[in-house]
Amino acid sequence: MSTKELFMNPYVSWMNGSGADGDVVLSSRVRLARNFCRIPFPNRADLAQLEKIQNIVASVLPDIEDVTDEPFEEIILDKLTKLEKNVLIEKHFISNNHIKNSQHREVLISDDGKVSIMVNEEDHLRIQCMVAGLDVKTPLKLALKIDDAIEAKVDIAFDEKMGYLTSCPTNLGTGLRASVMLHLPGLVFTQQISSIINISPQLGLAVRGLYGEGTEVLGNIFQISNQLTLGFTEQELVDNLTSAVKEIIAQERRARTALKLYSMDKLEDEVWRSFGVLKYAHSLSSKEALSFLSKVRLGMDMGIIKETVPEIFNELLVASRTNYLQNLQENENMSQSEIDKKRAEIVRKALKETSIGE
Amino acid sequence: MSTKELFMNPYVSWMNGSGADGDVVLSSRVRLARNFCRIPFPNRADLAQLEKIQNIVASVLPDIEDVTDEPFEEIILDKLTKLEKNVLIEKHFISNNHIKNSQHREVLISDDGKVSIMVNEEDHLRIQCMVAGLDVKTPLKLALKIDDAIEAKVDIAFDEKMGYLTSCPTNLGTGLRASVMLHLPGLVFTQQISSIINISPQLGLAVRGLYGEGTEVLGNIFQISNQLTLGFTEQELVDNLTSAVKEIIAQERRARTALKLYSMDKLEDEVWRSFGVLKYAHSLSSKEALSFLSKVRLGMDMGIIKETVPEIFNELLVASRTNYLQNLQENENMSQSEIDKKRAEIVRKALKETSIGE
């Protein structure tokens, strides 16, 4: 993937909607936090130390490319416009935190878009691997493989008792955060979602909105991740998350069946109206777009809209984001109404190309 | 037009949207109230007298057919189902009042649908003539021609001082009620409509909703008619109404121009969203349907929706009415949700056939 594509193309490979349990699970992601020995964490490091970290990363990059069998793009955040940085956030390649102070910050993104390694975020390295559907094992395996390649060359901060040392104590131990992105309109419509959110902490899990910590739930999309990192093996953490997610998937499917049985007429009407508005609106707010997209996707998954092209939903998740739209126009001074018009235009165009429901 | 068509076909000729000032005026209508001499008004007549009136009408019907050059269908209200009566009301051929007591009540409808003569409504005869667009003179001429044909054969109650005698004193004199059906979304959106409604009585005019006296305004459709019938000639009354309507048309057009200048983006979005919902909804309430249809029609008249087929709007005004829908299904026990589903189905089908906006 060229740098241009990275910013201009709404599509990223883990969005293709083809993965396991793709009717409910959008994507699975694993992130490992790692730090090099004898260099302060990025928040305490001086510029020379930050640069040294970049140099170490550069020295191990060929090994990473070797084990992943993918070329990587090295993107220096300081060289990006504000909009481009935000597009990378919208595509989940970097975090909000990563752009707060962008000096000597960079991200390595694999050509297939499945791996992104943030350099000098909160930790020296944050190795992120993403795949479509429910499959936490594959990205975990890949992340550990990358980690092994790095550890073969460089000393990583590790304590016999504590495990991997990290900037924030919540990441101590495995340094592992595994998360799954779920589309749960059935549980939202049947008002069962709150009980799932309430029970999650007791299972060592956190439930958040589309863009992680503290973000509002949009488009009925929820991110579920492990809270604990210490005292369990990577495998145990991943198994725990996976079995909880499987239970939620079963509940979501039951909720959809109930909707089919008891409110099919209402649901069918809402799904098609959402489709009609997306197809013809000339102005769409971000929130509206996600809400309508969620209903259309539900309609596709429930067979209400027959010609299923679920990847449209996933693609539009990015394509309708504000920063992506602004970057596409090469204009960060677009007014809200210009953004909403552009968003509607892109959605109309995408749906016209699929020409469902004619 | 066959009796079957009368009830099953949503289309009536004065709806074709082709008339003068058709961007604002849906139709013009004239109604003459007439009573035969020496027979009590219908509300005070006994059954034998009501029958006598029917017989007189039957005797002059050939003369009416002769001067109008149209065959008439004679429809005995007692022979209709409740639904069929309501369809005739929805099509503006008879009034609510006409079906209250349907014994010996009937209506004569011309083959082209432009003339309907209510027999034994509040007066012995109510001669109604309708045309598309703004043109009160043509239906007046036609109604007077029918009146002349009747008066050539039968004595009509007339007083030198008072003019034509009618059951209700508000109709004394000319017995003329002329009305114009206007689509005024511009004045509604720009909130200027109330000043027009407020000033109307001072001009001797009444402003009402789609189905006459006391009915709610739906779909931004207003009916404007003369209040006075006494002390003016028919010509004066018609000229007064026409010039007032012309002023309202000019104001409506100014309002639309203002909308174009100052809220085109918002308007365009609303118009297209309405179109999208009408095209895809699987359930539509009557009120919703009219509100969306009004916006789509406005969009057509303002060139936002380019392939103009304004008659769709007029046709759907009838096709989306509850009684018409029930009658179409031959089922007066349809639940509200069944009616709303059927309405959405009919609207979807009609819009699919026109395939605008692809």
**Is residue B109, in this structure, part of any structural domain at all?**
yes
Angle at A244 between CA A240 and CA A248, to 5 degrees: 165
Give the domain CATH number at B82: 3.30.590.10
Asked whether B122 and B31 are in contact (CB, 8 A), the reply is no
Q: Are residues B88 and B33 in the same domain?
A: yes
**Which helix (H) or strand (E) element contains residue A76?**
strand A72-76
Q: Which two tokens stand for residue B272?
A: 């297209």
**Is residue A170, in this structure, part of any structural domain at all?**
yes
Helices (H), A9-136: 47-68, 82-90
SS3 B230: coil
Please state the ipTM of this predicted complex.
0.76
DSSP tag of B217: P
**Is residue B358, in this structure, part of any structural domain at all?**
no
Range of the domain at A20: 3-254
Q: Which two tokens stand for residue B325?
A: 């829908």
Domain boundary residue, one of B195, B224, B254: B254
Q: Are residues B202 and B227 in the same domain?
A: yes
Structurally, how many domains does chain A consist of? 2
Domain boundary residue, one of A254, A271, A287: A254
Q: Which of A276, A282, A344 sits opposite B280 (nearest CB)?
A: A276
Q: Do B269 and A281 touch (CB under 8 A)?
A: yes
Q: Are residues A242 and A178 in the same domain?
A: yes
**Is residue A78, in this structure, part of any structural domain at all?**
yes
The angle, 0 to 180 degrees and rounded to 10, between the axes of the packed helices A311-319 and A336-354 is 160
Q: Do A279 and B276 touch (CB under 8 A)?
A: yes
Q: Are residues B186 and B306 in the same domain?
A: no
The angle, 0 to 180 degrees and rounded to 10, between the axes of the packed helices A336-354 and A286-301 is 20
In angstroms, the separation between the Cα of residue A265 and the nearest Cα of chain B is 8
Minimal Cα distance from A356: which residue of B? B280
Q: Which residues in chain A touch residue B345, judged by CB atoms under 8 angstroms apart?
A: none
* A154 contact partners, CB below 8 Å, separation of at least 6: A36, A56, A59, A60
Q: Are residues A315 and A202 in the same domain?
A: no
Q: Are residues B272 and B131 in the same domain?
A: no
**Is residue B63, in this structure, part of any structural domain at all?**
yes
Q: Which residues in chain A touch residue B280, judged by CB atoms under 8 angstroms apart?
A: 272-273, 275-276, 279, 357
Q: Are residues B227 and B250 in the same domain?
A: yes
Tens-digit pLDDT string for chain B (358 aa): 567 777 777 666 656 667 889 889 989 999 999 999 999 999 999 999 999 999 999 999 999 999 999 999 999 999 998 888 988 888 889 998 999 988 999 999 999 999 999 999 999 999 999 998 999 999 999 999 999 999 999 999 999 999 999 999 889 999 999 999 999 999 998 888 888 888 888 888 998 876 555 555 678 889 999 998 888 999 999 999 999 999 999 999 999 999 999 889 999 999 999 999 999 999 999 889 888 988 988 998 888 988 656 667 777 777 777 777 777 777 778 888 888 999 899 888 888 766 555 4
**In chain B, which among 254-283 make CB contacts under 8 A with chain A?**
265-266, 268-269, 272-273, 275-283
Q: Do B273 and A278 touch (CB under 8 A)?
A: no
CA–CA distance, A122 with B104 (Å, rounded to integer) = 90
**Is residue A165, in this structure, part of any structural domain at all?**
yes
Determine the straight-line distance between the first and last CA of chain B, rounded to whole angstroms: 34
In this structure, the number of other CB atoms found within 10 A of the CB of residue B176 comes to 25
Asked whether A292 and A278 are in contact (CB, 8 A), the reply is yes
Q: Are residues A28 and A130 in the same domain?
A: yes
Q: Do B344 and A269 touch (CB under 8 A)?
A: yes
Q: Are residues A129 and A85 in the same domain?
A: yes
CA–CA distance, B230 with B239 (Å, rounded to integer) = 15
Q: Are residues A52 and A157 in the same domain?
A: yes
**Is residue B150, in this structure, part of any structural domain at all?**
yes
Q: Which residues in chain B touch residue A281, judged by CB atoms under 8 angstroms apart?
A: 269, 272-273, 276
Sign of the C-alpha dihedral, residues A291, A297, A300, A301?
Answer: negative
Length of chain A: 358
Domain boundary residue, one of B254, B285, B319: B254
In angstroms, the separation between the Cα of residue B286 and the nearest Cα of chain A is 15
* B90 contact partners, CB below 8 Å, separation of at least 6: B211, B318, B321, B323, B324
Minimal Cα distance from A338: which residue of B? B265
pTM of the model: 0.81
CA–CA distance, A147 with A141 (Å, rounded to integer) = 10
**Is residue A358, in this structure, part of any structural domain at all?**
no
Q: Are residues B220 and B72 in the same domain?
A: yes
Q: Are residues B230 and B295 in the same domain?
A: no
In this structure, the number of other CB atoms found within 10 A of the CB of residue A231 comes to 11
If you search the block for the tokens 């299923």, which residue do you land on?
Answer: A308
Question: Which range is least confidently modeled, A108-112, A134-138, A216-220, B179-183?
Answer: A216-220
Q: Do B276 and A272 touch (CB under 8 A)?
A: no
* A144 contact partners, CB below 8 Å, separation of at least 6: A32, A234
Q: Which two tokens stand for residue A158?
A: 């590790």
